[in-house]
Amino acid sequence: MIDPTLEKLRVFGSDYVLPFQLVESGLRGRFVRLDDSVSKILEQHKYPEVPSLLLGEALALTAILSATVKFDGKFTLQAQSQSKAAIRTLVADVDTDGHLRGYVSFDADAIADLDPNATLARMFGGGYLAFTVERGDGEGRYQGIVPLEGETLAESVHQYFRQSEQIPTGLRLACQKGSDGRWCAAGLLVQRVPETGGEPISGDNHFPRTDPENWDQDEGYVRAIALMSTLKNSELTEDNFSPEKLLFQLFHEDGVRIWEPTSITGDCACPPKKFQELLVGLPRQEVDECKIDGVVSITCEFCGKTEVFDDAALDKIFSAS
């Protein structure tokens, strides 16, 4: 009989978030693998290599962090430059139905001069990283902001959890383009979550909340980080990948328990009347001033969908409002 969790992984194929727990140390984790979804998003945009690699990692990061938060709405990651730099803005979001999307705005000339392994400082020249949870159930909006520090997105997230959340967190991100031209992105996260994640299943010992200054004294956490550091990016994005095999290979001494995965798609969740609602939120005079050759064109930054509105369409929209 096939394990139900593994069977569901096979059904999802290559785009999922898989929760897991390290039994002995009580650490909680998430593993994300994005094949079809990240390929669809990056192929839509046709960016150069540097912004494509960055966005691929950001998509994996968005999916993996959203899975650590209980919400009914949307989780958004945004990195914003505060100077004239190669990368100006990076945005990725995912909703509770697993619709993942993202885009990057950049200076094409500056990007051409960057190495694929360029640091965040080279790409953004400083700035901030923001995580926003928009709850659609009337519970409001939560946002966390941290400076863009470190050489990679993963290092910047480490700073966020150390400074803002005070949760011991280890994170690996990877993105690469295969010989067949298709993209793959992946991420692995482990955390010492207070209360909900601090007690091992197999024993009575309790792991209390760890002060950020003493994370290096948390043996279970330190061991997990050391094991994660042995991973090569290619191991996270290789073909014929098996998540349960990777987790067992890394953490078998702790014992690994996997939970039900959730699926991810690269479909942009544009509301049917998104552009109409955007237009009626503006004065008609301002809309008319945006016309080019007698029409107003609006394009979704995420998926590239474009709608064109002539005078007759605008009259109908504004009369209905």
In this prediction, residue 213 carries a pLDDT of 61
Which of 149-158, 172-181, 211-220, 280-289 comes out lowest in average pLDDT?
Answer: 211-220
Instruction: Check residues 289 and 235 and name the one with the higher pLDDT.
Output: 235
Q: Report CA 177 to chain centroid distance, whole Å.
A: 18
CATH architecture, range 274-320: Alpha-Beta Complex (3.90)
DSSP class per residue in 6-38: HHHHHHHTTEEEEEEEETTT--EEEEEEESHHH
In this prediction, residue 1 carries a pLDDT of 43
How many angstroms separate the most distant Cα atoms in the chain?
A: 72
In this prediction, residue 138 carries a pLDDT of 61
In this prediction, residue 210 carries a pLDDT of 53
HSE-CB at 99 with a 13 A cutoff on CA atoms is 12
Q: Please identify which residue in the block is written with the tokens 């709608």.
A: 307
Across the range 261-279, mean pLDDT stands at 80
Q: What are the C-alpha distances in Å from 15 to residues 38, 41, 63, 143, 190? A: 9, 13, 10, 26, 19
Instruction: Check residues 194 and 283 and name the one with the higher pLDDT.
Output: 283
Instruction: Check residues 278 and 290 and name the one with the higher pLDDT.
Output: 290
Q: Which CATH superfamily is domain 4-263 in?
A: Hsp33 domain (3.55.30.10)
Instruction: Check residues 312 and 33 and name the one with the higher pLDDT.
Output: 33
In this prediction, residue 205 carries a pLDDT of 40
In this prediction, residue 194 carries a pLDDT of 67
Write the pLDDT tens digit of every residue in 166-204: 788 999 999 999 888 899 999 999 998 765 443 333 333
In this prediction, residue 151 carries a pLDDT of 92
Average pLDDT, the chain: 85
In this prediction, residue 72 carries a pLDDT of 86
Across the range 49-67, mean pLDDT stands at 96
In this prediction, residue 58 carries a pLDDT of 97
Task: Select from 167, 92, 169, 170 the least CA-distant residue to 132.
Answer: 92
* Cβ pair 321, 280 in contact under 8 A: yes
Q: How confident is the model at residue 207 (pLDDT cuts 50, 70, 90)?
A: very low
pTM as predicted: 0.85
In this prediction, residue 206 carries a pLDDT of 43
Instruction: Check residues 68 and 318 and name the one with the higher pLDDT.
Output: 68
In this prediction, residue 196 carries a pLDDT of 43
Domain extents for the chain?
4-263, 274-320
To which H or E segment does residue 49 belong? helix 49-66
Across the range 154-175, mean pLDDT stands at 88
Write the pLDDT tens digit of every residue in 98-146: 999 999 999 999 999 999 889 999 999 999 999 999 877 666 788 888 8
